[in-house]
Amino acid sequence: MLRRTLAIVGLICTAVMLADIAAAQTQAPPPLGGSPPRRPQGVGDRHESISTPLQGTDGQVREGLELLDQPGTFKMAGDRVVFFMTGSKQQLIGLENLNLERILRVLADNSDPLEWFVTGAVTEFRGTNYLFVRRATFKNRGPGAALTPAAAARDHKQ
C-alpha cells in the first residue's frame, strides 16, 4: 500500500515538473525594438519588462533580448566576426555557428560593407555581449532583392 501511494505521489510530482518545463519553454524573450508580452515577473526573472531600457548602465545590451531584422554591418576584428547595430555604437561578437560561417564567406567575397538584417539572441559573458545569429540577410547592390548567406554560399560553390 505504501509503495502504491509513493508511486502515485511520484507520478504527480513528475506531471507538475513537466507542466512547469512546458510553460517555461513557451515563454520567449522580448523582441528588441518591439513590445514584449506582458506577464507576471518572479524573483530572479531575467526577462525584461516594457520599461526596461535596451542597454544597462554599463552600456551592455541586456541578456536574453531577441534581435528581429536588426539592421547593421558585420566586420572582422582579429579572428572574430563582430556585428555593429545601425544607429548605435553597440557591437556584438558573433557566436560561431553555421550562419556565422556563411556570413564570413560573404564577407570574404565582398570588400564593400554590406547592410545586413539580423535575427538572433543576445547573450552576455563577463561583461561582453555576444550574438547567436539565427537568420541574416543582406541587401543586394542590384535591383532590390535580398539574398541570404545560405544562397550566397550555394552560389559560391557553383
CATH architecture of 61-157: Beta Barrel (2.40)
How many CB atoms lie under 10 A from the CB of residue 112? 5
Residue ranges of the domains in the chain? 61-157
Mean pLDDT in consecutive groups of 10 residues from the start of the chain, 158 residues? 76 70 57 44 38 53 90 93 91 95 92 92 93 89 50 51
Residue 147 contacts residue 105 (beta carbons within 8 Å): no
Whole-number pLDDT of residue 75: 93
